[in-house]
Structure 1
Amino acid sequence: MIARLFIAVTLAASAPALAADAPPPAAQANRFAATLVPAERFEIGAVQVERHGKGGRPLILIPGLASGSWVWQGTARQFLGEHTVYIVTLPGFDGRAPVSGKQMEAAQRALAQLIDTRKLVKPVLVGHSLGGVLALSLAAQRPQAIGGVVSIDGLPVFPGAEDLSPRQREQMAQQMARRMAPADQRAFAAQQQDYMRGTGVVDMARADELARLSARSDPGAVLQYMAETFAMDLRPALPKITAPVLLIAPYFEADASQHELSAETKKAYYAALIEAAPKAEVVTVAPARHFAMIDQPEQVNDAIRRFLKTL
């Protein structure tokens, strides 16, 4: 039942809005826009990288769907004093042009290239949502190169799709992409606002500000990333991960109680999906929706800090 619930909620929250419902452009400053000045900004493969701080174990922060470096501003501020922090922006997101071919594969190659060219020793990958999926995938592909993985609401298989066959997941991914395709950029902006208000964060003012930032992404690339992620199942590869894994599960009772879903039930569900990873732990953050680092930055940063101390 819980699997069906997750997929139903996701589809409902992601349904396209009418163009007429799109919010008007905002002239005021956006408090979540990227304001940290990086020590260095450069391109690696298909991604843009911003480096902050120096020394310590390297951290690579990977945003989720339609997000840019702005989503990690608070996290970077907390850790740049003790770590070298690399924030990546994936192609197709936050005003960057998409790449041809498979988006996820291009992102994985770029992350591997970042580690190799900068000679990063056992970096910790911190990913949100789709970024968490990329982190888990790279840790399975290159287990000796990764020191740890923190995934914020990014699972090895799309919740609700774990019992589907690969062909069924692929077919459903294409159906989802067709259903969600916005008519134009204005409709995409409305879609992002609906998503942020329904699933993204608890506070509606924050939701609207974040939606204005995520609307800067390319709609076609967003759909392609979604379809590719939905079709993936990393569970068979999880035993290859030798690094510790921390999975952060956000929980918001006002949403979950409608479906009689407790924090313990959700945590157990996440633990079941990640259990094949040899050193995996699940931590609940509440009250928080999908962007847990926006809703509960202190809880998320504390969880990351505790995890880093165990490495």
Structure 2
Amino acid sequence: MKTQKFNWLLVGMLLAFLKTINASAEPQLITTQIIGKGQPIILVHGMSCSSDVWDELVERYQGKYELHLVTIKGFGNKEMADVDFYLKQVKDELIAYTQEKKLKNPIIIGHSMGGFLGLWAAAEEPEVFEKVISVDGVPYFPVLQMPGITPETAKPMVESMKNAMVNMDEASALANQKMIVSSMIATEEKRAKVIEMGMNSNSAVVGQAYGEMYTTDIRPLMSNIKVPVLVFGSWAAYQNFGATKESVTLGYQNQLKEIKEVKLLVAEKAFHFVFYDEADWFYSEMEKFLND
């Protein structure tokens, strides 16, 4: 009997050891660069971008805030990690980073995919962040353009999108990147930098993350957010398809209605990169929110 109990004890210790080894072997998806001093702001870039997308924001605020520039593996770089749920792990790492660093009253600002991640993190851990700013990032973006779509109905199109991204040759990828960026940035001279970021990204990682954006609906979690949220939206890029500012605004409002304290601002002429196309307005409104 004693021998059997001892054997089970050894098995338990071995399993615990293997669990620790596996946890430590899990690839880290985010790295950070810290610039400036003051209240901490965590900056999370969007799809196919790098932290360089925030260069102008850093220039403006490095003397007032401690800026934590997040770089995600595979975005703006060719790195690759074999992870089942890429964005969920990034979200978990953002929360863990904030907690481990013991950041005091941190603000999280994200663009597009980064805004989605910021909202998700604030919903999962309502006590971690002081405020959230999402720049054209919503809880489930596909429904803005395809009413009625669900994570389940999106699965077939996700697989075809992922395959198309991975199998695209360089010339086709460049042409595709130029087309996408021109629909997301109205200011022509701002486009080249973002195109380069996209070309420097890992297509397999981008494809996986894009697919997860289609199959992850966090709208049911929005009522968990306890802190003030500011969301910047855009509509001008869609007016050629029959959209109006009123119809697009309603789409955003439906996505955000469960957040207890939320302010939605929809730009007049900016495309998806609001901080490039309407910079003065963007920074003015952002400062009001931060100082409130």
- Give the TM-score range, shorter chain: 0.7 to 0.9
Give 1:132's match in structure 2, choosing from 115, 140, 149: 115
Structure 1 distance, partners of 2:232, 2:149, is 24
Give 1:241's match in structure 2, choosing from 213, 219, 225: 225
Give 1:152's match in structure 2, choosing from 122, 127, 135: 135
* Residue equivalent to 1:26: none
Structure 1 distance, partners of 2:184, 2:104, is 33
Deviation, 1:264, is 2.6
Structure 1 distance, partners of 2:50, 2:258, is 30
* Residue equivalent to 1:33: none
Q: CA, structure 1 residues 261+166, in 2 after alignment: closer, same or farther (shift >3 Å)?
A: closer
Deviation, 1:96, is 4.7
Structure 2 distance, partners of 1:274, 1:162, is 15
Which structure's CA Rg is the greater one? 2
Deviation, 1:127, is 0.5
Find out whether 1:277 has 2:259 as its counterpart.
yes
Per-residue deviation, residues 89-128 of structure 1 (Å, max 9, x unmatched): 1110111512211211221122122202211123111000
Structure 2 distance, partners of 1:218, 1:212, is 12
Q: Are 2:75 and 2:197, in contact at CA under 8 Å, matched by a contact in 1?
A: no
Find out whether 1:225 has 2:209 as its counterpart.
yes
Q: CA, structure 1 residues 182+291, in 2 after alignment: closer, same or farther (shift >3 Å)?
A: farther
Find out whether 1:143 has 2:126 as its counterpart.
yes
* Residue equivalent to 1:188: 173
Give the TM-score, by structure 1 length.
0.79
Worse overlay, 60-69 or 45-54: 45-54
Amino acid at match of 1:103: Y
Q: CA-atom RMSD, angstroms?
A: 1.9
User: Aligned with 1:192: secondary structure?
Assistant: helix
Structure 2 distance, partners of 1:84, 1:205, is 29
Q: Write out aligned runs for 1:70-219 (5 A).
A: 70-101=52-83, 102-160=85-143, 161=146, 163-197=148-182, 199-219=183-203
Could you list the runs of 5+ residues in structure 1 that have no partner in the other structure? Answer: 1-43
User: Aligned with 1:248: secondary structure?
Assistant: strand
Structure 1 distance, partners of 2:169, 2:239, is 35
Find out whether 1:259 has 2:241 as its counterpart.
yes
Structure 2 distance, partners of 1:95, 1:76, is 20
Deviation, 1:258, is 2.4
Deviation, 1:181, is 4.1
* Residue equivalent to 1:290: 272
Deviation, 1:204, is 3.0
Figure out how many residues of one structure are paired with residues of the other and give that number: 263
Deviation, 1:185, is 3.5
Q: Are 2:136 and 2:234, in contact at CA under 8 Å, matched by a contact in 1?
A: yes
Q: Are 1:103 and 1:225, in contact at CA under 8 Å, matched by a contact in 2?
A: yes
Structure 2 distance, partners of 1:77, 1:162, is 39
Structure 2 distance, partners of 1:194, 1:243, is 37
Structure 2 distance, partners of 1:138, 1:296, is 27
Amino acid at match of 1:244: P
Could you list the runs of 5+ residues in structure 2 that have no partner in the other structure? Answer: 1-26
Answer 1 or 2: higher relative contact order, Cα 8 Å, separation at least 6: 1
Deviation, 1:179, is 4.2
Give the TM-score, by structure 2 length.
0.84
Structure 2 distance, partners of 1:284, 1:248, is 6
Q: Write out aligned runs for 1:32-43 (5 A).
A: none
Worse overlay, 76-85 or 219-228: 76-85
